[in-house]
Amino acid sequence: MLERIIELLTRQLVRLRGQSMAPALRRGNWVRVSRLAYRKRPPSRFDVVRFKDPSRPGAWSIKRIVGLPMEFVELRDGNLIIDGRRVHESHAALKIPGSHAWAPREDEFVVLGDNRSASTDSRKYGPVHRTSITGAVIGHSRLR
């Protein structure tokens, strides 16, 4: 019984409002967020995370981690380049022309939406600090 109570208190059900994570997650989808996901391990590349949105005080956002601390991360003509090597992104919906580069510090992560044409992400506000990450998306439902 206690384990079930702890599980309920450490997970949250959230309904998505935008299209920035389409096609994997769409507007109206419900996602389960684990608040304890990163207590024993750090966030990993391609984890979908919930974090405090630096562009909207008091709001949160859900995006995918593409760059880890201390890496040199680039988006070059829609291709993700990590420390000079191209990284395949099967989840990215579109390749958007243009270039961006980041050098996240020790506790920073580069986050991008899968639907880059409809996403406000690290291209606008830079890397996000580890303390801003409030949980990991651990499941979703397409029910409306």
Write the pLDDT tens digit of every residue in 4-54: 555 555 777 888 999 999 998 999 999 999 998 998 899 999 999 999 999
Q: Which of 140, 125, 139, 138 is nearest to 53 (CA)?
A: 125
| pTM recorded for the entire structure | 0.88
- 82 bridge partner residues: 73, 85
Rounded to an integer, what distance in angstroms lies between the CA atom of residue 81 and that of residue 28?
32
Q: What sections of the chain are H helices per DSSP?
A: 2-10, 122-125
User: Which domains occur in the chain, in start order?
Assistant: 2-141 (2.10.109.10)
Task: Give how far the C-alpha of residue 133 lies from the chain's centroid of Cα atoms, to the nearest Å.
Answer: 9
Condensed to tens digits (0 to 9), the pLDDT of residues 101-123 reads 999 999 999 999 999 999 999 99
Give every strand in the sheet of 133-141, ordered side by side. Answer: 11-15, 30-34, 133-141, 48-52, 60-67, 108-112, 128-129
